[in-house]
Chain A
Amino acid sequence: EAGVTQSPRYAVLQEGQAVSFWCDPISGHDTLYWYQQPRDQGPQLLVYFRDEAVIDNSQLPSDRFSAVRPKGTNSTLKIQSAKQGDTATYLCASRSLGSAETLYFGSGTRLTVL
């Protein structure tokens, strides 16, 4: 069984540039999460979906961040105008609501904003 796939692995931007992160969850997993993990900190939830619906995006900086999961499978997280404070690893995780509560994490995208 393939795991959670994320791309790109790394991104380096200047402030003000836009960037998109892509996530392909484990097949059949209906719940998908995006976490932001600053260096030497724990993951912080940005947004999560059940199928194509946003369940909670209260921690997503809505003026610059957006996330979609249009068909309830793959998901894209976009930063419209990056700031240095966005420097972090962006983790995607998925789980199957009907089974165990374990989250399966991807390898992450390490973003550096100069």
Chain B
Amino acid sequence: GEKVEQHESTLSVREGDSAVINCTYTDTASSYFPWYKQEAGKSLHFVIDIRSNVDRKQSQRLIVLLDKKAKRFSLHITATQPEDSAIYFCAASSNNNAGAKLTFGGGTRLTVRP
């Protein structure tokens, strides 16, 4: 089955700098790659996603890049703010008629220092 690996378990950046979190996946059939954020004491919520028909997607300060050949995708957070501090999870799925089955990475704890 699919395996998703997050390469940075922790990441610390200074406020205003950019943060980059990298993930790799194993299943060439995977076509949907979302990112979820988990703030302290809270559950996961969706932040951004990318599908395999594009290699870049941006939503305000968030940019996702996808390299299908390398089976790698990354989340870039520009102009970081203290409220970006959280654990970020990447995920992958190969959609099927019964719905998406997401496989998550282990998480990256991002700390934005003032």
Contacts and interface: CB of A to CB of B under 8 A. Distances in A.
B98 interface: yes
Residues of B contacting A: mostly: strand
A42 B104 contact: yes
A91 B43 contact: yes
A42 B90 CA distance: 9
A95 B99 contact: yes
Interface string A81-114: 0000000000101010100011111111000000
Given A43-B89, A55-B99, A102-B34, A107 B42 contact: yes
Interface in A45-69: 45, 48, 50, 55-56
Interface of B: 4, 6, 32, 34, 36, 42-46, 49, 89, 93, 95, 98-107
20 contacts: A31-B99, A40-B107, A42-B104, A43-B44, A45-B103, A48-B99, A48-B101, A50-B99, A55-B98, A55-B101, A56-B98, A56-B101, A101-B34, A101-B49, A101-B93, A103-B102, A104-B45, A104-B46, A105-B36, A105-B44
